[in-house]
Amino acid sequence: MKPQGVVAACGLAGGMDFPATVAPFILRGVTLVGIDSVMCPQPVRRQAWARLAEQVNKTLLAGLTRVIPLPDVPALATELLDGKVRGRIVVEVP
């Protein structure tokens, strides 16, 4: 984090706890920007997804993607909870 930088934070999958202090942000003049992924208006979402589609390296994304059938979801959930899942999982729904 550089002085006068910006940190974007999204998601609270682990809960609302913030096991840190905001002092390093304040002392360096850093802006902490929250990303509202819940109440974001549909037109803004569409624009964001369109920009992502243009800029994401599709070859790299394909290498990070695993496709699984729906019956494999319970086993994958165990892996996920054990912290063994990396990348993107796509569930094929019949």
Residue 45 confidence class, pLDDT cut points 50, 70, 90: very high
Q: 52-80 as b/e, with b when 16 or more CB fall inside 10 Å?
A: eeeeeeeeeeeeeeeeeeeeeeeeeeeee
Dihedral (CA of 23, 27, 28, 34) sign: positive
Question: Which DSSP state fits 3?
Answer: T
- What pLDDT does 8 receive? 84
- What pLDDT does 66 receive? 93
- Higher-pLDDT residue of 74, 38: 74
- 19/12 Cα distance (integer angstroms): 12
Residue 2 confidence class, pLDDT cut points 50, 70, 90: confident
Q: What is the rounded average pLDDT for all residues in the chain?
A: 88
- Higher-pLDDT residue of 19, 73: 73
Beta strands 88-92 and 65-69: pairing type? Answer: parallel
